[in-house]
Amino acid sequence: MQKNAPIADQIAIITGASRGIGLAIARRLGRLGARLALCSRSAAAVEQAAAALRGDGMDARGWSADVSDANSVRHFAASVRQELGDVSVLVNNAGVGVFEPVQDLAEADWDRVLGTNLKGAYLMSREIAPRMILHKRGHIIHIASLAGKNTFAGGSAYCASKWGLRGLAGSMGEDLRPHGIRVSTIFPGTVHTDFSPHPGKDPARMLQPDDVAHVVEMLLLQAPQSFVSEVDLRPSQKP
C-alpha cells in the first residue's frame, strides 16, 4: 500500500470478516492503506480470506475468535495489539440470524443471535475503546440492519438484536465523543449474501456487500470535526 493512502498504517479490526459484507469492508479498508486484523469463528475461513487480501498486496492477518465470549475477545484483542499495535478502526460486523416465530424460537437460538449481534459488539467495543481513549482518536462502526428499525414476522431474535445494537451504539457515541472517538451505525436493507435466503427477490436489484463497504469508507474519510451517527442504506429499487 502507498504510504500516502488515506488511512495508511492504521490498524483496523473487522469482525465476521471471512466472507460477505465483512470481507468487502476489509478489502475496501486495505485499499485505503489500513493494516487489517480479520476476525471470524472459523480459523480456516478467516485465514483463506486474509491470504486472498495479501495476494492483492494488502497487509492482512486472520484470527479465530468468538465475539460472544469475553475471554475469546480479550485474547484476540491482546494478540492484535501485540502483533500489529493499537487499533484505530473497529468494525463490528459479525452477525447471525435465526428466523422463527417467537413461539417456535429455541432459547439456544435466541442466545446465539443476541450473543453474537449485540453482546459481541459490546464486548469488542469494551475491549478496544480504552486504548482509543488513550490516543484520543478512533472510529467504531457497527453494521446493523433496517431490521433494527422495522419488525417482521419471524424476526423476533434478529430484530431484538439490531434494535438493541442501535441503542448500544447511540449511548456509546455519547460516552466516547469527549475522547475524540466517533461511533457510527449502518442500517443496510437486503444485501445479496449467503447470510439468509431471500426467495422471490432479484439479486441484481439488492444491495451488494461493496455498497456497505463504500459507506464505511465515507464514514472514515469525513472531516474530523463531525461524525455521522446513523446511515440508512437501501437499494435504489425494491428487489
Q: Which pLDDT tens digit goes with each residue over 21-45?
A: 999 999 999 999 999 999 999 999 9
| pLDDT tens string 87-100 | 999 999 999 999 99
DSSP assignments along the chain, one per residue = --TTSTTTT-EEEEES-SSHHHHHHHHHHHHTTPEEEEEES-HHHHHHHHHHHHHTT--EEEEE--TT-HHHHHHHHHHHHHHT--EEEEEE-------B-GGG--HHHHHHHHIIIIIHHHHHHHHHHHHHHHHT-EEEEEE--GGGT---TTBHHHHHHHHHHHHHHHHHHHHHGGGTEEEEEEEE--B-SSSS--TT--GGGSB-HHHHHHHHHHHHTS-TT----EEEE--SS--
Residue positions annotated with a catalytic role: 158
Give the model confidence (pLDDT) of 151-165 as tens digits: 999 999 999 999 999
Per the CB < 8 A criterion, the answer to whether 65 and 76 are in contact is: yes
Residues 47, 28: Cα–Cα separation, whole Å: 18
Total residue length of the chain: 239
Q: What is the mean pLDDT of residues 1-18?
A: 84
Written as nine digits, the cell of 215 is 459507506
Cell of 118: 449485540
CATH of domain 11-233: 3.40.50.720
Distance CA 31, CA 72 (A): 28
**pLDDT-derived band at 4, boundaries 50, 70, 90:** low
- Short-list 217, 5, 176, CA closest to 91: 217
pLDDT above 90: residue 197: no
Answer whether 180's CB lies under 8 Å from 136's CB: yes
What integer is the mean pLDDT of 170-186? Answer: 97
pLDDT of residue 117: 98
User: C-alpha angle 41/33/190, rounded to 5°?
Assistant: 50
Overall average pLDDT of the 197-223 stretch: 87
pLDDT tens for residues 105-152? 999 999 999 999 999 999 999 999 999 999 999 999 999 999 999 999
Alpha-carbon span 163 to 178, nearest angstrom? 25
Q: Are 67 and 91 spatial neighbours (Cβ–Cβ below 8 Å)?
A: no
Q: Which residues pair with 60 in a beta bridge?
A: 36
